[in-house]
Chain A
Amino acid sequence: MTTAPRDPVSHPVALVPARHRVSKPVRRHIAAPWWFAAPAMLLFAFVVLVPSTRGVYYAFTDWDGLDPRFSFVGLDNFGAMFRDPDAVQAIWHTLLIAVAVTVIQNGFGLLLALGVNSVIKSRNVLRVFLFAPAVVTPIVTAYLWRNLLSPEGAVNSLLGAVGLGSWQQDWLGDPDIALWSVVGVVVWQFGGYSMVIFLAGLQSVPKEIYEAADIDGAGPFRRFWSVTRPLLAPALTINLMLSIIGGIKLFDQVYALTGGGPGHATDTLSTLIYKDAFTLGEFGYSIALAVVLTIIVAVASAGQYFFLSRNERASS
């Protein structure tokens, strides 16, 4: 196994039949236009690559965002972060929101998808209708919900009107409930999004398999577990990836619903980054928080990628 793979003498690849050599000029022709990628690379480098790299550098400085003089402070920002109860809490909230949104939104989306994939007469209308919140600007729906969830808002009025007055809450003002209200609004908005992706997965399941399962006498639950679930694996992978990354980066909804309050009860990494950079002028510290956010996203994506691709292979 020590043979260099491209050694022309000892490796059999050198003896590849003539057919390969004939098609080579064409291949080289296709491979030629490297400059096709140049505009995209330039934009990508200017907007993402270079600023992100500079961001990582600023995370080790005490820059305030304006003053041209700043100094390198090593790991001070990161140390300060773990001594700062607001930051620790924000990291915790970020993870909690990401997990809660992922679980609830996908559970709800899957139930909706199963519902509108059945033979009910209103299925086409319901599909269009249930997906509609997902295209509306999140900041706008968040302001709408801020009013609905206020103490005199429509949600409490509705609960009173149907005899559930004891369930009335200060949904956004109570520190114990506010975070869950944020999760609820996100699920309301993007449940239909998960539904559509699950629906695409459900429709790729061949009808014959269900007919065969019917003939074998499988009940609805058996049919779901043994036929539908394994074939939904790709849709599940995409849904989990999207919702967990979306949950970790959540900004608009928190900003508009609670502004991170009451106190810091709903602050996430994203809202704290914004506040520290643009209202407190702690640019270096704020970008250190962004680096932590990046690490969390990267770890979550990589973990999911390995876990889910194994799962997908196992069930196919």
Chain B
Amino acid sequence: MNRYRRRTFGLELVMIAIALVVGFPLYVLVNLAVRAPSDNSSPLRPTTSPTLDNFTQAWQQGGLGGALANSVLVTACSVFIVLAVSAFAAYPLARATARWSRGMFLLIMLGLVVPFQLASLPLYQTMRDLGLLGTPWALILFYSGLQVPFTTFLYVGFLRALPRDFEEAALIDGCTPLKGFLYVVFPMLRPITVTALVLNAVAVWNDFFTPLLYLSGSAQQTMPVAIAGFVGQYVTDWNLVFAALAISIVPILAVYFALQRSIINGFAGGLKG
């Protein structure tokens, strides 16, 4: 089990081969994104005279700068709001034994099952009446509510495993519940906060359906919607499309590789409950 044998070497080769197959689309993506549109040779052949023109063109014509700014705004605000309200809500829901807290917890958990199509179609009308359609605020409001069940679920699971001793001591010492939560409980929630932050940020950043509905026809876009619009417009010019895809992948992969250790642990650990 713990020694490196000849069979282990075989396994190593197999795993590397699988990784190469999994990574193959990335090679094609980069290869075609740096290729001049006139070059029609096989997508497998390495590009002989790479150019960055496709990137500048895609960036300007796709309005990707504005979309990137919107995506950052929507993701940052939604994640901040959902973490704050869910951590606060999880505290009484995990600690209080009253009937209302059990009922409320079950009600929120019901939200884990509802597919967002059911909620987001009728909400479309409310957003329209409030004049929020076509603005990032509609999305921030939507994700802030939509992500509450999952985030509260993570926090409640973590809180239930946490000893009460510190907060009881703080309360006996005359701390108000609010101060006890902010200064004693919330700092202890740090590991699950990091996990919830990453999971929520990925979910909000990557969502396509909701911004497609709520922002359609407006100048405001998020990155996935801008990419979809760009592909629709330049569908025959795949070198440009690939440059746009590459631009949208770079920020998320950069963040991922910088934080990969805690992201992978967070994904696995947070979901392990």
Known: A46-B145, A139-B228, A290-B115. A51 touches B96 (CB 8 A): no
Whether A41 pairs with B245 at a CB distance below 8 angstroms is no
Beta-carbon contacts under 8 Å, A101-154 to B: 112, 115-116, 118-122, 126-133, 135-141, 143-145, 147-148, 153-154
- Interface size, B (range): 35 or more
Residue of A nearest to B40 (CB): A152
Whether A200 pairs with B118 at a CB distance below 8 angstroms is no
Binding site for B on A (CB under 8 A): 26-27, 29-34, 36-37, 39-41, 43-49, 51-52, 54-56, 58, 65, 112, 115-116, 118-122, 126-133, 135-141, 143-145, 147-148, 153-154, 157-158, 161, 188, 191-193, 196-197, 199-201, 210-211, 214, 234-235, 238, 242, 248-249, 251-252, 255-256, 270, 273-274, 277-278, 283, 286-287, 290-291, 293-294, 297-298, 301
Which residues of chain B are within 8 angstroms of A199 by Cβ–Cβ distance?
Answer: 268
Residue of A nearest to B168 (CB): A26
Known: A118-B11, A126-B19, A140-B227. A154 touches B91 (CB 8 A): no
Distance of A54 Cα from B122 Cα, bound (Å): 7
When the two chains form the complex, which single residue of A193, A238, A287 contacts B118, counting CB atoms closer than 8 Å? A287
Which residues of chain A are within 8 angstroms of B84 by Cβ–Cβ distance?
Answer: 39
Which residues of chain B are within 8 angstroms of A158 by Cβ–Cβ distance?
Answer: 24, 44
Distance of A201 Cα from B271 Cα, bound (Å): 11
Distance of A270 Cα from B117 Cα, bound (Å): 8
Whether A293 pairs with B118 at a CB distance below 8 angstroms is yes
Whether A287 pairs with B171 at a CB distance below 8 angstroms is no
Distance of A235 Cα from B264 Cα, bound (Å): 15
Identify 19 residue pairs between A and B in the complex whose beta-carbon atoms are under 8 Å apart, listed by A's number.
A31-B97, A33-B177, A34-B96, A39-B89, A40-B86, A43-B145, A44-B108, A44-B149, A47-B123, A47-B145, A115-B14, A115-B15, A116-B15, A132-B256, A140-B249, A154-B24, A188-B22, A274-B117, A297-B113
Whether B264 pairs with A139 at a CB distance below 8 angstroms is no
Distance of A288 Cα from B248 Cα, bound (Å): 35
When the two chains form the complex, which single residue of A132, A274, A287 contacts B253, counting CB atoms closer than 8 Å? A132
Distance of A27 Cα from B96 Cα, bound (Å): 8
The reply to whether the CB of B69 lies closer than 8 angstroms to some CB of chain A is: no
Whether A294 pairs with B145 at a CB distance below 8 angstroms is no
Whether A133 pairs with B209 at a CB distance below 8 angstroms is no
The reply to whether the CB of B59 lies closer than 8 angstroms to some CB of chain A is: no
The reply to whether the CB of B272 lies closer than 8 angstroms to some CB of chain A is: yes
When the two chains form the complex, which single residue of A54, A120, A214 contacts B8, counting CB atoms closer than 8 Å? A120
Which of the listed residues A56, A119, A277 has the most CB atoms from chain B within 10 Å of its own CB? A119
Whether B264 pairs with A128 at a CB distance below 8 angstroms is yes
Whether B117 pairs with A290 at a CB distance below 8 angstroms is yes
Known: A31-B96, A129-B19. A256 touches B241 (CB 8 A): no
Distance of A217 Cα from B25 Cα, bound (Å): 43
The reply to whether the CB of B23 lies closer than 8 angstroms to some CB of chain A is: yes
Distance of A31 Cα from B223 Cα, bound (Å): 43
Which residues of chain A are within 8 angstroms of B108 by Cβ–Cβ distance?
Answer: 40-41, 44
Whether A44 pairs with B44 at a CB distance below 8 angstroms is no
Min CB distance, B166 to chain A, in Å? 12
The reply to whether the CB of B238 lies closer than 8 angstroms to some CB of chain A is: yes
Whether A140 pairs with B248 at a CB distance below 8 angstroms is yes
Which residues of chain B are within 8 angstroms of A196 by Cβ–Cβ distance?
Answer: 264, 267-268
Min CB distance, A126 to chain B, in Å? 6
Min CB distance, A287 to chain B, in Å? 6
The reply to whether the CB of B137 lies closer than 8 angstroms to some CB of chain A is: no
The reply to whether the CB of B120 lies closer than 8 angstroms to some CB of chain A is: yes
The reply to whether the CB of B162 lies closer than 8 angstroms to some CB of chain A is: no
Distance of A115 Cα from B144 Cα, bound (Å): 38
Which of the listed residues A140, A277, A283, A301 has the most CB atoms from chain B within 10 Å of its own CB? A140
When the two chains form the complex, which single residue of B19, B98, B142, B172 contacts A26, counting CB atoms closer than 8 Å? B172
Known: A138-B208, A255-B208. A278 touches B11 (CB 8 A): no
Min CB distance, A182 to chain B, in Å? 15
Distance of A122 Cα from B19 Cα, bound (Å): 11
